[in-house]
Amino acid sequence: MLSKQELLYEGKAKKVYRTDDPKYYWIEFKDDATAFDGAKKGKITGKGEVNARLSALLFPRLAVQGIPTHFVELLSPREMLVRELKIVPVEVVVRNIAAGSLSQRLGIAEGTPLKRPVLEFYYKSDDLHDPMINEYHIAALELASEEDLALMKNYALKINEYLIKFLQPANLVLVDFKLEFGHHEGKLMLGDEISPDTCRFWDARSGEKLDKDRFRRDLGGVEAAYQEVLRRVEALV
């Protein structure tokens, strides 16, 4: 059994600790919440447990679909053992329905289904506020190889296709979501988390938002929404 060592990094949503094996990290999910590039801050009680447990349910199922992930095991309701990743500084966003910044940028009414999934790329840089980039930027700045970018796109679309079908019996609509990838011993893997922090989930019947937008937009019922997503997914398994 690996043991938790010193704190390596603390981000907005997680604490990352070393273990006694440099190939593995110990992740603790926090209840802290931020929005609008850190301009809005707060806490969502129980968020860390929801995000850790939901990710621990979904990562193994994605692995069965041929998507390698950093997940190893859930250590406690809010702690996870993961493989060490050298993160690719490109976030991939998959959009199925117009919402958030896409609606604002393109003047598409929120809730409008897109004719096909849209992939967007963002440069992972806090100093630059994660600007949107395209494949030419990625190549020019050497942020990812052509092979890795092709694999990230392929994985993102496969994850999207699988999650849409998987979540249907739970009456959850996958509006959009963010993915991060990295290398472990030279192999590209899915990292980070899959949760109401990184995905927009809407109720299939009512259209009710069951994700971080409830915090961003002061809609109330944030904790209940996160717990509801977890409850529905746990009911599927």
pLDDT (mean) for 190-199: 98
Look at residue 185 in the predicted model and tell me its pLDDT: 97
| Mean pLDDT of the 175-187 span | 98
Please determine, for residue 210, whether its predicted confidence score (pLDDT) is greater than 90.
yes
Residue ranges covered by each domain of the chain: 4-83, 86-221
Contact 68, 60 (CB under 8 A): no
Give me the residue label for tokens 């994700």. 211
Q: Which fold has domain 4-83?
A: Phosphorylase Kinase; domain 1 (3.30.200)
Q: What is the pLDDT of residues 12-48, one digit of tens each?
A: 999 999 999 999 999 999 999 999 877 899 999 999 9
CA gap 171, 7 in Å, rounded: 39
Kindly report the backbone phi and psi dihedral angles of residue 195, in degrees, each rounded to the nearest multiple of 5, phi listed first.
-160, 175
Identify the pLDDT of residue 37.
79
Which of 109, 112, 233 minimizes the C-alpha distance to 167?
233
At 182, list the tokens.
């990295």
* pLDDT recorded at residue 38: 77
Q: Is the pLDDT confidence value at 222 over 80?
A: yes
- Give the pLDDT confidence score for residue 39 in this predicted structure: 82
Residue 154, pLDDT score: 98
Structure tokens at 85: 């990743």
| Phi, psi dihedrals of residue 226, rounded to the nearest 5° | -60, -45
Phi, then psi, of 13 in degrees rounded to 5: -120, -10
Name the token pair of 7.
């704190």
Pairing of β 24-29 and β 79-83:
antiparallel
- Which class would CATH give 86-221? alpha beta
Tell me the per-residue pLDDT of 123-163, one tens digit each, with 9 for 90 and over: 999 899 999 999 999 999 999 999 999 999 999 999 999 99
